[in-house]
Amino acid sequence: MVAALVAMGLGLACTPEVEPALSARDELPAESVELDPNASARERLSALEQTARETADFAALPASDGRFGPDPYRLIPLASVGDSGRFAGLLRGADQLVILDDEGHPIASAPAPHDPTDLALRGDELLVVGTGSGR
């Protein structure tokens, strides 16, 4: 039995070497590599993005609530105080409370706290709160 094991070991040691298959990390021959038709455009875009990131001064940009203009944010019906068809609303970019007719046209307005966030009706009073003021 020992002789059989020695013979088998010698037989395996004398076989020709088998080359391993290509791994994902091995380079493929040049003729089989596909070129990316968008590589140049991607490099230009990457350079543009990098420049934009490096030169952006976010501290100097105005706040978005003033940059994008008035934005109707919160609307509530005024029907409970006898004004059927009218609504109260907040305009965030303008820091205004507005009264709107049944078609959405403003008919009255008043200043609101900076960056108004909520609106409530209590009896015949409109209550407005915002992030920029304690009044």
Give the pLDDT confidence of 27-59 residue by residue, as tens digits. Answer: 656 565 668 889 999 999 999 999 999 998 888
Say what the pLDDT of residue 127 is.
Answer: 92
Residue 70's pLDDT is what? 72
Q: Is 109 exposed, middle or buried (0-12, 13-18, 19+ CB in 10 A)?
A: middle
CB atoms within 10 A of CB 106: 14
Q: Is 68 left (phi over 0), alpha (psi -120 to 50) or beta?
A: alpha
- Which pair of tokens denotes residue 113? 């706290």
The residue that leads in pLDDT, 11 or 98, is 98
Specify whether the CB–CB gap between 61 and 77 falls below 8 A.
no
Q: Which of 48-52, 78-82, 94-98, 123-127 has the least mean pLDDT?
A: 78-82
State the pLDDT confidence band at 116, using cuts at 50, 70 and 90.
Answer: confident
pLDDT digits (tens, 9 = 90+) for 75-87: 999 877 666 789 9
Output the CA angle 49-50-52, nearest 5 degrees.
Answer: 65
Coil, helix or strand for 96? strand
Beta strands in the chain (DSSP E): 72-77, 87-91, 96-100, 106-111, 116-122, 125-130
Burial environment of residue 90 by CB neighbours within 10 A (0 to 12, 13 to 18, 19 or more) = buried
The fold adopted by the segment(s) 65-130 is Thrombin, subunit H (2.40.10)
* Farthest-apart Cα atoms in the chain, separation: 110
